[in-house]
Homo-oligomer: A and B are copies of this chain.
Amino acid sequence: MSLVAIPFKSEVPDTVLNLVEIAASHPRVKGVLAIGAEEDDTFRALRGRQEGLQRENGTFLEVILQERIGTKRPGKGDAMNTALKWFLEETDLSRIHFYDADITSFTADWITQAEEGADLGFDVVRHYFPRTSTDGMITFLITRTGFALRWPTSELPWIQQPLGGELLFTRQVVEDLVANPIVQAQSDWGIDTVYTFFNVRDGHSMYESYRPEGKVHTLYGKLAELRTMLVECFSVVQELSRAPENHGWRGTDHTPTGGIVHRVEPQFQVPLPIIENVGFDIQGTMALLLEGWTNRQEELLNYFDRPIRDGLLGNRETPNFEFMGEDAWAQAYCTLLEKYEQGDADWEDLIFKLWTARVLNYSVNVALRGYGFARRYRHTTIVRYLKRAYFGECSGR
């Protein structure tokens, strides 16, 4: 039997309640754990539903606040790690599921599909989803790019959505994560990356299950939040890459031998509304390139190759992003891995501008060619990146 864990923070109460109801009535689920960031309306609404759920489904609902476990900004990492700890300490269940609290397309099938993956013997099951071609730009440009450039022969760059939050862990996996101090320290948006990274390092088998209807959820409207995610997701890649041997990577990352068993359901269908969606406001995003320039940012750009430096500096006057193609991004990324200083506001602004230039370049040169082209492009770019890294570029050694 399984536990379903739902971290939440200022969500629409009805959306979370709906998720809880679906989970609580699933035959494989023994109980639901909701982990709140604070005692808000959703927290209270869930508490009010505890007795009813127990009576109607015989399923427990536990509603708790997230503990302060990590050392980074307190965020989703603390919530998820709180859930893992609670799972080990308070239950003897064999599997835990995580689902984001804001999903409106959730159905009981998601739980069934994850359970079936585990039934087949997989340690980790990850749901993955079709995405609009201008969406998922942190996944593509930060996480998968970083995985390709620094662990080119590992399974890491082949994981479809390494930042996805809909997943199942078996008890052994949870024990490994709870015992891992790096994982426990990661209290912020970097949590998904460390889970994925150490799942692979620890040799856990992984099944990626495709949900064609997509993950319909609240979009990250506020740009501030996206900037925080970007910075935290890059920072964790930088830290992990700095001394892989310290992370107990088994063998060398220069051979796939010792890799994990990893099966990916093909991405057959993509719904038309996802294909035809546009992820963001291009003109508004261009304007961001022109804002907030400081003298120090201009100096820091000297670390970069000249075309990148000059290209980004062009944005002090007018939007300029044509320079930031696939190769320029790989070069910029390698420089960032080496030079970026966490917690430095100018570096944060710079990485945000570099990434924004890349997103715009990709949007008007790749995504504009259509969904199919963009999907092929994203895959083949990751493969090109891992090949260049394999032959020594940006390998950090």
A256 touches B121 (CB 8 A): yes
A56 to B287, CA, bound (A): 53
Q: Name the residue among A259, A283, A290 with the largest chain B CB count within 10 angstroms.
A: A283
B257 touches A121 (CB 8 A): yes
Contacts of A367 in B (CB 8 A): 368
Binary contact readout A374-397 vs B (1 if CB under 8 angstroms, 0 otherwise): 011001000100110010000000
Contacts of A318 in B (CB 8 A): 287, 290, 318-319
Tell yes or no: A219 within 8 A of B by CB: no
When C-beta atoms are compared, the residue in chain B nearest to A360 turns out to be B283
B277 touches A369 (CB 8 A): yes
A287 to B259, CA, bound (A): 49
- Say which one of A5-13, A261-269, A333-341 lies at the interface with B: A261-269
Binary contact readout A188-205 vs B (1 if CB under 8 angstroms, 0 otherwise): 000000000000000001
Tell yes or no: A373 within 8 A of B by CB: yes
A372 touches B120 (CB 8 A): no
**CB within 8 Å of B: which A246-277 residues:** 254-257, 259-269, 272, 275-277
Contacts of A373 in B (CB 8 A): 275-276
A260 to B134, CA, bound (A): 34
Tell yes or no: A155 within 8 A of B by CB: yes
A369 touches B278 (CB 8 A): yes
B256 touches A122 (CB 8 A): yes
Tell yes or no: A153 within 8 A of B by CB: yes
A119 to B283, CA, bound (A): 38
Tell yes or no: A35 within 8 A of B by CB: no
A368 to B282, CA, bound (A): 10
**CB within 8 Å of B: which A42-89 residues:** none
A269 touches B321 (CB 8 A): no
Pick 6 A–B contacts, CB within 8 A, sort by A: A121-B153, A121-B256, A259-B261, A264-B264, A275-B372, A370-B370
Which residues of A are in contact with B by a Cβ distance under 8 Å?
Answer: 116, 119-122, 134, 152-153, 155, 158, 205, 254-257, 259-269, 272, 275-278, 281-284, 286-287, 290, 318-322, 363-365, 367-373, 375-376, 379, 383, 386-387, 390
The list of the 3 closest CB pairs from A to B, nearest first, reads A259-B261, A282-B364, A256-B261
